[in-house]
Structure 1
Amino acid sequence: MSIAYNPSLQCQLPIILALFQGGLLVVFILYVDYDDQTSSLPLSNSTLPKDNQLYEIFPFFKDINVMLFIGLGLMLSFLKLYSFGGVAFNFLIANFSIQWSLVVQGFFNHYEDGRIKLGLENVLNAEFAAVTAMISAGAILGRVSPIQLLILCLLEIPLYVVNDWLIHKYFHIIDVGGTVAIHVFSCYFGLGISRIFYHPELRVGHTKETTTPNSDLLSLVGTLFLWIFWPSFNSVVAKAGNAQHRAVLNTFLALSASTLTTFAMSSLLSKKGQISLVHLQNATLAGGVAIAISADMIITPGGALGLGCLASISCILGFQYLSPLMARRLKVQDQCGIHNLHGLPGIIGTLGSIIAVLFSPIDISDLSLNDDLYYTNGLKEGSSALEALGSNGTWNSRDQAMGQAAALGVTFGISLLGGYMTGLLLKIPCLVHPSYEFYFDDQPYFQIKDISENNWNSKDKHDRNLLMPLKEV
């Protein structure tokens, strides 16, 4: 089949990227300076080299980059004819979103005396914002053009920043790893868009919506990268010391429990006892999503293992039963199953954090509580959640539990409505829209060398024969 050339793509993609990069260049020139720890001015750089945040943050920063650009990219390469799109467009929207987040978050949170102060911590926070767009894009993977993906990022990032500010400022959510702020928000934002992009013919499956052993293997390798570095993602913003130590341990235990549960549950649900690669690629990570919100709390090792098991079970059951139901009843076609990996475990994790706040002892000396709450209550190390949060009578564990639940509800509403409205904007006719026949296909977007049998010259065929297995004599 010949590929229909779309001249709008050649026009729109360079223009949008040129305008965006040029606009940000102007903003950076006019408004952005390095912060004190990165400034070259001797008078402003009062931080000793050994105390520079670089040495505390950069090891985590590298791990998170591996997760975003390699892990998530490979994980999205599972489709047979859309592996380039999964990796390359993930690379594109990650960089687009990070730069855009630096500006949005800069004006929102780091604007001082007419300037944005930029440091490594800002870039790290921008990557957290970028993750939301990258996850949301998974719901419509292969069904939209790169132009539409860029518009998605442009609209989602500001809404993420506002929602993150809202749930921390007014609901004092404790969410060190972003279960609500990142995973739940990105999930339901993506599902809101997916509802607008519902296509009736996809109910019976698309001819290109298939995988190969090689593409599934690449996706599984991406899962392993995410699995290995997930403790860094959940612990990087925890206060250095005991809280960060707990966040690493709790995340590892939850991920390990998710892995064993996935193998057991997937085999149990198969009539032949075979393990689903889709389950391995997703449910093994569910524990990392669920534990993120309470990773730095003292939830006990058993609690971390339990959350990992529950998250994995919910993810697998979601793929098995809930995704087909949502596609049939709600007309929401979730391409990558982000609801199963990010939505359901996110809800379970939030419920777990409520239980932890109500009943678990909390080491308040280094827990990553909201700064206003921390300093208002004069919290003491080793106190229970009830004693710690209610020490001055103005904020107790019940209030905190209600704040956790309210933040979940507010995030759900904002993200779903925001995603639905974004989906309507992405359907504007002037944007490039891939036709149904070219869903899940790399060819309209990439220069792919044709290596079919008819194009091999005699030397190629000779070389291929040398690589064929020897016949038995």
Structure 2
Amino acid sequence: MFKDVHLMLFVGLGLMLSFLKLYSFGGIAFNFLIGNFAIQWSLVVQGFFYHYKEGKIHLRLENVLDAEFAAVTTLISVGAIMGRASHVQLLLFSAMEIPLFVVNDWLVNKYFHVIDIGGTIAIHIFSCYFGLGVAQILYQPELRNTHPKEATTAKSDLLSFLGTIFLWIFWPSFNSVLAKTEDAQYRAIVNTFFALSSGTITTFALSSLIDGKGRISLVHLQNASLAGGVAIGITADLISPGGAFAVGCIAAMFCILGYQYFSSFLARKIKLQDQCGIHNLHGLPGIVGTLSSIVIILSGSIDTYGSSLLLEVLGNQFLENTWTATDQALGQAAAFGVTFGMSLLGGYITGLLLRLPCFVHPSKDYFLMIDSISKCQKITTANHFPMRSFMNTC
């Protein structure tokens, strides 16, 4: 499962960010850079935060896995400003987000006892609104009506869709690796698969209906087919297969409607340029998942869930009747509210820091990794230089 999460982080997300025609290399390369930096920085921050009394930083496999979850949070967030920030800004972005993520994760677990095995609140909600906070501060008026280089090609779309399939295949591991028992892990794997599968079928159906001519939008397919995995993460070991199927359908619907109508509304009304549509894939399905967890907790019983879930998540409080289902539902809602507020405020502060002149790249040529790389690509395409001549020219 560690290997599966590793593949999602560096292959799935990297390929998914390669959809822009002149930023495919940038999307993959910067994903590789930020992923490595975020993992190492997370090991330091988490080690200090949780083990500062021991004066040690633990480097077990589970610690590296926790660091990779923090890195995923950063890589989702940077999608909101992809192509509009330099690598120095992205590194600073990551350095600012990781400590806040660790503090928020500690708060929602210690004080609200949140049930969130797949990180719907702690990872997806947090990363989404942190990234949107930064994106709103870094708003570029000249990009109101898009940019000539903000386009895709058949090759870049294919690479991005391959990334979606990688994420789709390995998502059950992502949602189940932190399960406390084997039974809970099996439930999480099966339920995540059902949510992803139902979301994919819903994506094909709804996308063709919205088009009017029966055509399927590749943007919808690249994103909404994963929305079920985001939404089901919070209840993957708690819900029934039928419920997982329904959550996947609803999450995919909200994701598609977000791309179709809500993104343009946010861009017009609050000047928010969400480059990768993280609000549609992570924010809206995250809200669907949070609401579903509240409904499931209030409608279920402790006997239904068994000792493999609630009693292990919350200890003996249930046995002593000191923590009710209503308390847990309120805890879920409070965890969402705290995460939303901390991530958005942290995003605004980080955005203001990134706007300082010492961090802003002087070039305004958006959606290019480096100008010289683009020129080298044009030279080889036009003149078919051999490799050695190509390198000398660059």
TM bracket (short chain)? over 0.9
| Structure 1 partner of 2:390 | none
Q: Encode CA deviations 1:330-373: one digit per residue, 9 max, x unaligned.
A: 111100000000000000000000011111244332116675x2
1:424 — aligned with what?
A: 352
- Asked whether the equivalents of residues 145 and 434 of structure 1 are also in contact (C-alpha less than 8 Å), the reply is no
Q: 1:142 aligns with which of 63, 83, 89?
A: 83
Q: Is the 8 A contact 2:173 2:189 kept in 1?
A: yes
Aligned length: 383
Q: Which has the larger radius of gyration?
A: 1
Aligned residue for 1:291, secondary structure, equals helix
CA gap 1:239/1:245 in 2 versus in 1, 3 angstroms = same
CA contact (8 A) 2:130 2:347 kept: yes
1:128 is the counterpart of 2:55: no
Does structure 1 retain, via aligned residues, the 8 Å contact 2:317–2:323? no
Gaps of 5+ in 1: 1-59, 379-391, 459-473
Matches of residues 263-302 of structure 1 in structure 2 within 5 Å? 263-297=204-238, 299-302=239-242
The answer to whether the aligner puts 1:341 opposite 2:286 as a matched pair is no
1:407 matched to which residue of 2?
335
CA distance in 1, matches of 2:35, 2:381: 36
1:185 maps to which of 119, 122, 126: 126
Partner in structure 2 of residue 364 of structure 1 = 306
The equivalences for 1:62-461 within 5 A come to: 62-111=3-52, 113-297=54-238, 299-361=239-301, 362-367=304-309, 371=313, 373-378=314-319, 392-433=320-361, 435-436=363-364, 438-444=365-371, 446=373, 448-452=376-380, 454-456=382-384
Q: Deviations over 1:7-55 (max 9, x none)?
A: xxxxxxxxxxxxxxxxxxxxxxxxxxxxxxxxxxxxxxxxxxxxxxxxx
Three-state SS of the structure 2 residue aligned to 1:331 is coil
Structure 1 residue matching 2:305: 3-state secondary structure: coil
Out of 447-456 and 105-114, give the one that drifted further.
447-456
1:11 paired residue number: none
Rounded to whole Å, the distance in 2 between the matches of 1:322 and 1:457 is 46
Shift of 1:375: 2.8
Name the SS for the 1:117 alignment partner.
coil
Specify the alignment match of 2:392 in structure 1: none
Stretches of structure 2 that go unaligned for 5 or more consecutive residues are: 387-394
SS in 2 for 1:171: coil
Cα deviation for residue 202 of structure 1 reads 1.4
Aligned equivalents of 1:175, 1:354: Cα separation in 2: 11
Distance 1:203-1:413 versus aligned 2 partners, 3 A rule:
same
1:225 is paired with a residue of what secondary structure? Answer: helix
CA contact (8 A) 1:239 1:368 kept: no
Whole-angstrom distance in 1 between the partners of 2:35 and 2:98: 11
Code of the aligned partner of 2:145: V
Cα distance change on mapping 1:166 and 1:180 into 2, 3 Å: same
Distance 1:166 1:442, change over 3 A: same
List, as ranges, runs of 4+ consecutive aligned residues in structure 1 with deviation greater than 6 Å. none
Change in CA separation of 1:208 and 1:162 when aligned onto 2, cut-off 3 Å = same
Q: Which amino acid aligns with 1:430?
A: C
Q: 1:261 to 1:422 in 2, by over 3 A?
A: same
Output the amino acid matched with 1:270. D
Contact 2:77 2:131 in 1 (8 A): yes
Counterpart amino acid of residue 440 in structure 1: F
- Shift of the 353–454 alpha-carbon distance from structure 1 to 2, 3 Å rule, reads closer
Q: Which amino acid aligns with 1:408?
A: F
Partner Cα distance (2:325, 2:82) in 1:
41
1:153-210 C-alpha deviation (Å, 9 max, x unpaired): 0000000000000011111100000000000000000000000111122121100000
Structure 1's 130 and 369: CA in aligned 2 closer, same or farther, altered over 3 A?
farther
TM-score by length of 1: 0.79
Instruction: Kindly indicate whether the alpha-carbon contact (under 8 Å) linking 1:174 and 1:370 is maintained by their aligned counterparts in 2.
Output: no
Q: Which has the higher contact order (CA 8 A, sep 6+)?
A: 2
Q: Is the 8 A contact 2:133 2:345 kept in 1?
A: yes
TM-aligned CA deviation for residue 434 of structure 1 = 5.2
Q: Would the aligned equivalents of 1:111 and 1:117 in 2 still touch at CA under 8 Å? A: no
Q: Secondary structure at the match of 2:308?
A: coil
Q: Compute the displacement of 1:393 (Å).
A: 3.1
CA distance in 2, matches of 1:149, 1:454: 33
Deviation readout 1:121-140 (Å, 9 max, x if unpaired)? 00000000111110000000
Q: Is the 8 A contact 2:311 2:318 kept in 1?
A: no
| Residue identity opposite 2:354 in structure 1 | L
